[in-house]
Amino acid sequence: MSEPQVKTIELSIQGICCAEEAQNVQRAISALPGVQSTNVLLASEKAIVKFDPALVDMDKIHKAVESAGCSITGLTATRPAFEGTKVARRLVFRIFAVFGVVFGVLLLFVVLGEMLGVFRALTGLVPWYIWAIVILVGGYPVLRKVLHSTLKRKVTSHTLMTVGLIAAIVVGEWPAAVLLAFFMRTGDYVEHFTTEDVRRSVKELTSSAPQQARVERLGTEVMLPVQEVQADDIVVIRPGEQIPVDGEVVNGQATINQATITGESMPVEAAPGTKVFAATLSHLGTMKVRTSRVGADTTFGRMVKMVEKAEAHRAEVQRYADKFSGYYLPVVAAISILTFVLSGKPLAAAAVLVVACSCAFAIATPIAMMASIGASARKGLLIKGGKYLELLARADVVLLDKTGTLTLGRPEITDVVSLNGMTDTAILQLAATAERYSEHPLAEAVRAKASEFGSVAGEPEQFKAIPGIGVRAIVDGKVISIGSRRSVPDAIASLDRAHSLEAEGKTLLFVMSNDEPVAILGASDLLRPEVPASITSLRRIGVRHIELLTGDNERTAAALAKQLGIAYQAQLLPEAKIAVVKFYQSRGNTVVMIGDGVNDAPALAQSDVGIAMGAAGSDVAIEAAHIALMREDWSLVPDVFHIARRTMRVVKTNIGFTALYNVIGLSLAAFGILPLIIAAALQSLPDIGMMINSSRLISTPRRHEGTPSSAN
């Protein structure tokens, strides 16, 4: 029997105004037979659906979304609407909104005056049908949603408030009913504003993408939409223009502001051979760029996609909140019925329904998470989801790669020791040829040193990179291997000259020809200057254990670890690094692995949170890591830890405030202490509180202070 075909699609959803509606859409799609998973993203207004096309088609998905009160945009609907009708409908809704707000504000003053005895006679003169008209007109958008949900047999928080409104009408409390309609609208506006405030971070990031490119075609320059640019096209960028593609400079030079990618405002100089990225800004020069990637495939496009999908990786605390929201409404309804049965006061029962705020539980976590993720992206910190912020906030073990992570990743060959009488020039020529296709920083150092001696790397007949070991190539018919001490016999690895170089903290490369020793190359890689202070900051933040994991030799690793005051393990293959991560996880630790995303990609993926340094332009790093730091700056590491802890403090405050509000509000309403009008007015309080609290995360200042913790 053949395996079922699985298809994944992204749908743009219109009409998701709050977390409750997002959950309704997700449940509606997930209930369809053949749908394997659904993630509805409130911040980016999208749904990611994984389904079996043999069991469910787009028409069914469209109807499911429609049944939840929303619609799919960018897709041909089963009943296409005339654009003029849409415009008219929007106009009518705006008129209703203005009408409802104006009358609501006026009546708020009137009713408050009546409560004070000022307008008592005046309100008594208003016929009941005037009150009814005001309620219908002012509350129409909300009441329409409630009717739609009721017909679909769905109960929402607005359903409970509407029941409270009807109860007020039944007992003749028309002013209270009008106030209820007004505050229902107010609550909708507040929640919509809160959601839009978070969406703005994603929208601002997306709007930074360039739309046009100046392309050389047949000797002339042509302005084209970015989506029409192809690989290897030559794009001309003039001063003050955005770079529209990823590529390499082939002519000219310019100063580039890469803040949209790296978050760093300091400009960089671009010349022939420099890699440049889409959405960065060119200054002071004209250049030509050979296109390598366009649109969604560019580094910037991948950044936007990652931020948009970040909401799909929900934090555990958010999953609990979502489950709680599902049980909350039935509990509130039960408390209301019990209140009426025991007290016989319909207004008290109505106040219970009105004061309850279920939406607040649903948005307490995602609003804070998305505010933080969106703000971080603008600073060059890509976080794949709230799940990783939550894990990072409680991380207690940090494991570090060495080359390209703690060090600058640009080692230099400082020593060439011949073991068979070959000259330094000949040794470097041979080594550079064998390392020609290696991407390792040490291989680049070998090629650079050979170039200094006037040697040009030749073409190896065969080449193979062995992770954690080195390279093996055939050069002039001979098998040339270059690697660490584990790649050579103990007799060669234990030579006195090798020991003396390692004692100086240098990394060794052993060059072998047909299993015979040729030379030892000593390399030195400078420690990033900001690393010591950043390690200290991690300890202050609360990280209990920091450990270096390196494939380097014991002496080099020990010298670096001593300098930083951290633990270390040396001569580790990639598989061994994974084993170390698993060991700490088995002890119950939350493990963070920090690397460059290339050789340590498996360990990054295995860790609870993998952080890749300098990920700009690196597909491997962006894919392997859970958090990608777009520039090579170690001060970003304590920054992202601080952001995670700050975000979780805001989330806990949101949830705590919402829980306290509901407990107090429901208790006061159930005992008849909280009047119906006051209950309606307080209904929007949690949303307003969370909006104010979460908005602090939209600005994430750099900060390295924290709570002191034990040393390593």
Active site residues: 401
Which tokens is 121 given? 């006679």
Place of tokens 């990179």: 465
Which tokens is 181 given? 């309609």
Residue 39 phi/psi, 5-degree rounding, is: -125, 115
CA distance 353 to 344: 15
Which tokens is 378 given? 């603008």
**CA distances in angstroms from 644 to 49, 259, 380, 505, 630, listed in the order given:** 28, 22, 15, 35, 17
Query: Cβ(359)–Cβ(19) under 8 Å?
Result: yes
CA distance 476 to 631: 40
Tally of CA atoms within 13 A in the half-sphere of 357 that contains its CB: 35
Query: Cβ(205)–Cβ(706) under 8 Å?
Result: no
CA distance 431 to 424: 10
* Amino acid identity, position 548: L
CA distance 288 to 253: 8
Tally of CA atoms within 13 A in the half-sphere of 526 that contains its CB: 6
Strands 212-217 and 220-225: antiparallel
Query: Cβ(34)–Cβ(51) under 8 Å?
Result: yes
Which tokens is 304 given? 């936007």
Partnered with residue 370 across adjacent β-strands are none
CA distance 255 to 499: 45
* Amino acid identity, position 613: M
3-state secondary structure of 702: coil
Which tokens is 474 given? 């055939």
3-state secondary structure of 214: strand
CA distance 116 to 12: 50
Number of H helices, E strands in the chain: 26, 26
CA distance 66 to 63: 5
Close Cβ partners of 365 (under 8 Å, ≥ 6 residues apart): 314, 315, 317, 318, 321, 386, 651, 654, 655
Partnered with residue 35 across adjacent β-strands are 51
CA distance 662 to 356: 6
The DSSP output letter for 701 is: -
The DSSP output letter for 213 is: E
Q: What angle do CA 321, 323, 328 make, to 5 degrees?
A: 85
H helical segments located in 513-552: 531-541
CA dihedral 237, 243, 249, 255 (to 10 degrees): 80
Residue 485 phi/psi, 5-degree rounding, is: -65, -25
3-state secondary structure of 549: strand
